[in-house]
């Protein structure tokens, strides 16, 4: 009796699956014209990186709202007349949650495309799941080198990878020497002892050798350090001409203020877009951060057509200025839309083909720090460039002013090097 019941149960279960499967196939083939493109977004909407995630979400909403209001896709193919539907899931900056999110989006929500996840540590495993299911994954931000170059076919990264950051920092040092005719010989490297800092330091040491600079100080400090005076005293006695720094938020403030208090002023301090890019940094250091260089992907004061207008509209809608985070989301969303317009289909192979073929430089793409979006066969945006900002006094406030590359520099500003009163 019991056996028979089990048989009946498994039989009906199989029947149920078959029916669902066939009805699904039937609906799909009958519905050749798609009404909507479903894009899954995985972002850190709570937890330590929440502010970045929330800002990115706002920009995505801003773009999609406008796009749908204008009638959605207009193209010859299955997407004609289709609109975009966004689904947002929170990763909490946790890789495990990110992976579950992607599974949910693919199996539960049948998304056509995924974008996210901001944290490199989340993007890395999450994109693997998407690749397995042949769902295109567009990465606007995560910079960890290893994300691309895994032979994935459906992964595309907009942001510059982290080895490019150090490469451009050294290009900038070369530029400083050439531009001002000063002989730069010695470097000091100070970094926070975590993945972020260590990967920069490894790369700096190699580049210093290649570019012919002598590293006379290579110092790390723990994430939990409460006093950075010992590090500052070491800088003071070693006196490197250029100081390269990687910091998170709190320690960036502590380091900058302690250096100012001990009057430690190298020719230039060049930081790496970590804590120094946090709005809290300038607020809490002010004059102490004067003439600091920071690497960035983008800045609101860049000399780019259409930028002011975009900022005005976005601020009106969400009350915040466009910043680096929102800009990454902006380029990511516009890339997806531009490519889908061309393929007029959500077929992942067509999407890949078009992504590799496109070179996006007009329309919404004029506000970026680099001239175009173009992907190599690894899915990396090949010319994602970086810029340098210098903290300068504008009026009675200290601001991040774009100074390099020269053509993007804020009108009326040039690099100040070496900084006044240096040792």
Partner 1 sequence: MGSAILNGILMGSIYGLTAVGLTLIFGVLKVINFAQGAFLMSGLFATYWFVKFTGTNPYLALVVVVPFTYFMGYYIQKFLIKPVFESEKDVREPIGVIIVTTGIWYMLDNLALMLFGAQYRTINVPSVSKAISIFGLYAPLSKIIGFFISITVSGLLFWFLKYSKMGKAIRATSQDREAASLMGINQYKIYNVTFGIGTAICGIAGAVLLPFYYVYPTVGMHLDIMDFVIVVLGGLGSIPGALVGGLIIGLIESVGSQFIAYSWTIEVIYIIFLIILFVKPSGLFGVKGEF
CB-wise, 278 or 328, nearer to partner 1? 278
Q: Measured in whole angstroms, how far is the alpha carbon of residue 69 from the centre of its chain?
A: 27
Is 393 a binding residue for partner 1 by CB under 8 A? The answer is: no
Q: Does residue 248 interact with partner 1 by CB under 8 A?
A: no
Q: Check residue 261 for interaction with partner 1 (CB under 8 A).
A: yes
Cα 106 to Cα 129: distance, rounded to the nearest angstrom: 9
Q: Pick one of 195, 227, 349, 406: the residue that binds partner 1 (CB under 8 A).
A: 227
Kindly state the greatest CA–CA separation across the chain.
Answer: 94
For residues 241 and 266, is the Cβ–Cβ distance under 8 A? yes
Task: Please name the residue that has the structure tokens 């769902």.
Answer: 135
For partner 1, which stretch binds (CB under 8 A), given 137-145, 202-210, 278-286, 338-346? 278-286
Q: Should residue 320 be labelled a site residue for partner 1 when binding is judged by CB under 8 A? A: no
User: What tokens appear for 52 in the block?
Assistant: 């970045």
Q: Which two tokens stand for residue 206?
A: 């190699």
Q: Is 220 in the site for partner 1 (CB under 8 A)?
A: yes
Stretch touching partner 1 by CB under 8 A, among 58-66, 174-182, 254-262, 399-407: 254-262
Q: Given CA atoms 355, 360, 363, 365 in this order, what sign does their dihedral have?
A: positive
Among 83, 211, 234, 304, binds partner 1 (CB under 8 A): 234
Helices (H), 292-375: 307-318, 324-343, 348-357
Three-class SS state of 226 = coil
Nearest approach, Cβ of residue 367 and partner 1 (Å): 28
Which lies closer to partner 1 via its Cβ, residue 113 or residue 231? 231
Judged by CB under 8 A, the number of residues near partner 1 is 27
**Which of 108, 230, 363, 371 is close enough to bind partner 1 by CB under 8 A?**
230
Footprint of partner 1 on 39-58 (CB under 8 A): none
In this chain, which stretch among 100-108, 205-213, 277-285, 303-311 interacts with partner 1, using CB under 8 A? Answer: 277-285
Show the tokens assigned to 383.
């010319």
E strands present in 83-238: 83-90, 113-116, 137-139, 155-157, 186-192, 214-221
Virtual torsion, Cα 152, 153, 158, 163, nearest 10 deg: 30
Contacts to partner 1 by CB under 8 A: 193, 219-222, 224-227, 229-231, 233-234, 249-250, 253-254, 257-258, 261-263, 278, 280, 284, 286
């Amino acid at each position: 009796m019991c056996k028979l019941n089990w048989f009946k149960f498994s039989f009906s279960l199989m029947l149920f699956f078959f029916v669902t499967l066939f009805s699904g196939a039937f609906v799909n083939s009958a519905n050749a014209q798609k009404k909507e493109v479903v894009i899954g977004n995985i972002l850190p909407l709570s937890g330590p990186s929440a502010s970045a995630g929330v800002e990115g979400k706002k920009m995505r909403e801003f773009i999609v709202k406008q796009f749908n209001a204008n009638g959605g896709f207009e193209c010859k193919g299955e997407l004609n007349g289709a609109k975009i539907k966004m689904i947002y899931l929170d990763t909490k900056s946790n890789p495990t949650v990110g992976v579950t999110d992607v599974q949910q989006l693919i199996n539960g929500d049948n998304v056509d495309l995924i974008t996210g996840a901001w944290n490199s540590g989340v993007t890395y495993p999450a994109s693997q799941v998407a690749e397995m299911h042949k769902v295109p994954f567009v990465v606007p931000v995560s910079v960890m080198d290893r994300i691309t170059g895994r032979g994935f076919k459906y992964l595309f990264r907009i942001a510059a990878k982290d080895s490019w950051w150090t490469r451009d920092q050294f290009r900038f040092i070369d530029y400083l020497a050439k531009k001002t005719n000063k002989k730069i010989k010695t470097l000091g490297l100070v970094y926070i002892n975590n993945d972020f800092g260590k990967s920069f330091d490894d790369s700096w040491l190699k580049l210093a050798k290649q570019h012919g600079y002598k590293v006379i100080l290579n110092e790390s400090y723990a994430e939990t350090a409460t006093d950075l005076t010992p590090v500052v005293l070491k800088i003071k006695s070693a006196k490197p001409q250029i100081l390269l720094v990687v910091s998170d938020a709190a320690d960036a403030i502590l380091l900058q203020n302690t250096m100012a208090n001990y009057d430690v002023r190298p020719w230039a301090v060049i930081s790496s877009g970590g804590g120094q890019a946090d709005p809290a940094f300038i607020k809490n250091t002010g004059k102490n951060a004067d003439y600091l260089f920071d690497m960035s992907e983008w800045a609101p004061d860049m000399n780019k057509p259409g930028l002011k207008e975009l900022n005005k509209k976005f601020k009106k809608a969400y009350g915040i200025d466009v910043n680096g985070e929102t800009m990454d989301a902006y380029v990511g969303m516009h890339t997806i839309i531009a490519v889908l317009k061309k393929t007029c289909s959500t077929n992942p192979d067509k999407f890949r083909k078009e992504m590799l073929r496109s070179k996006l430089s007009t329309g919404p793409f004029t506000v970026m720090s680099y001239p175009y979006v173009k992907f190599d066969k690894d899915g990396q945006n090949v010319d994602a460039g970086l810029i340098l900002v210098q903290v300068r006094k504008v009026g009675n406030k200290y601001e991040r002013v774009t100074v390099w590359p020269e053509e993007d520099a804020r009108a009326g500003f040039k690099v100040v090097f070496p900084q006044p009163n240096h040792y």
